[in-house]
């Protein structure tokens, strides 16, 4: 992985920016040569808004003003809902979203169509931040962080003859995705207040879906699973539990480093 400052020919690279309350990060990838990959985290100021932090990041990084082949924006949000693709109507997206979530001021509703999963992820984003993105990156594609994860896990879940659950743990949240041979059974994101919370959510969803403790499988994603206590806790109730190694999962790609968020990896390497 190379420093951003050494990047040459930015127009040959895809820029990806991840916006999260835990901190921002950005990467640049040459799709024809993944050895030409740069990644840099950016600490946010929790006392100011997402928009203000975004402005400060742009002002402090000349690199971000370079021309790129394409720009992706990943928004780490828990405010999303899924709609089956065959039932999706663009003009109804906002109404359906606010049927599932409380209406908040100064937000805009966006959506991602996921072809492999046959669903549409409808999500909310701060309207001011969205305007900043439109101003600086008018051609950018904006994704909820859960979107590339859903697509990636949908493909992986088609292997074998059992049901699979995927758990993506971050410092503030835990996302649970469950499938039956590629068909989505459950997707949601919950607050993460500690190991007991995570175990409660996982086991409750597992029971509601009627998953088998013997035959079905649970996969743990995200660097936070370095804590073996959580893995051991899950294994008391589910026989087959595996921690996903990014390097092995993505065929030893040079991008698959522990410091790169797993949702960003699935976007960069999943051809979304």
Give the pLDDT of residue 86: 96
CB 184 within 8 A of CB 117: yes
- Is the pLDDT score of 2 beyond 70? no
Looking up residue 203, the CATH number of its domain turns out to be: 3.30.420.260
Whether 123 is covered by a domain: the verdict is yes
Computed over every residue of the chain, the mean pLDDT equals 90
Phi, psi of 39 (to 5 degrees): -145, 140
Q: Give the predicted TM-score (pTM) of the model.
A: 0.92
pLDDT in tens, 149-166: 999 999 999 998 999 999
1 and 136, same domain (yes or no): yes
CB-based burial label for 216 (10 Å; 0-12, 13-18, 19+): buried
Look at residues 92, 122, 144 and tell me which one is the last residue of a structural domain. 144
The parent domain of residue 101 ranges over 1-144
Give the pLDDT of residue 226: 52
Burial 156-188 (b: 16+ CB within 10 A, else e): bbeeeeebbbbbbbbeebbbbbbbeebebbebb
pLDDT in tens, 223-256: 655 567 778 888 899 999 988 888 888 877 778 8
158 and 63, same domain (yes or no): no
What total of structural domains would you count in the chain? Answer: 2
Looking at per-residue confidence, does 270 or 191 come out higher? Answer: 191
């Amino acid at each position: 992985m190379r420093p951003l400052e050494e990047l040459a020919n930015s127009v040959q690279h895809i820029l990806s920016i991840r916006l999260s309350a835990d901190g921002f990060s950005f990467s640049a990838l040459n799709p024809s040569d993944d050895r030409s990959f740069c990644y840099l985290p950016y600490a946010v100021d929790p006392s100011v808004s997402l928009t203000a932090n975004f402005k400060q990041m742009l002002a402090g990084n000349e690199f971000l003003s370079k021309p790129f082949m394409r720009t992706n924006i990943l928004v780490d949000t828990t405010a999303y809902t899924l709609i089956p693709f065959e039932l999706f109507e663009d003009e109804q997206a906002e109404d359906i979203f606010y049927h599932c979530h409380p209406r908040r001021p100064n937000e805009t509703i966006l959506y991602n169509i996921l072809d492999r999963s046959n669903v549409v992820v409808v999500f909310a984003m701060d309207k001011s931040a969205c305007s900043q993105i439109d101003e600086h990156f008018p051609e950018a594609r904006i994704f909820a962080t859960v979107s590339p994860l859903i697509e990636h896990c949908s493909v992986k879940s088609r292997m074998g003859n059992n049901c699979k659950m995927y758990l993506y743990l971050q410092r503030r949240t835990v996302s649970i995705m469950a499938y039956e041979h590629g068909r989505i059974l459950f997707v949601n994101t919950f607050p993460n207040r500690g190991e007991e919370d995570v175990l409660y959510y996982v086991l409750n969803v597992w029971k509601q879906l009627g998953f088998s403790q013997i035959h079905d499988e649970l996969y743990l994603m995200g660097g936070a699973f370095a804590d073996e206590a959580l893995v051991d806790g899950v294994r008391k109730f589910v026989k087959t539990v595996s921690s996903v190694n990014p390097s092995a999962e993505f065929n030893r790609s040079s991008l698959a480093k522990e410091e790169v968020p797993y949702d960003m990896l699935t976007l960069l390497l999943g051809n979304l």
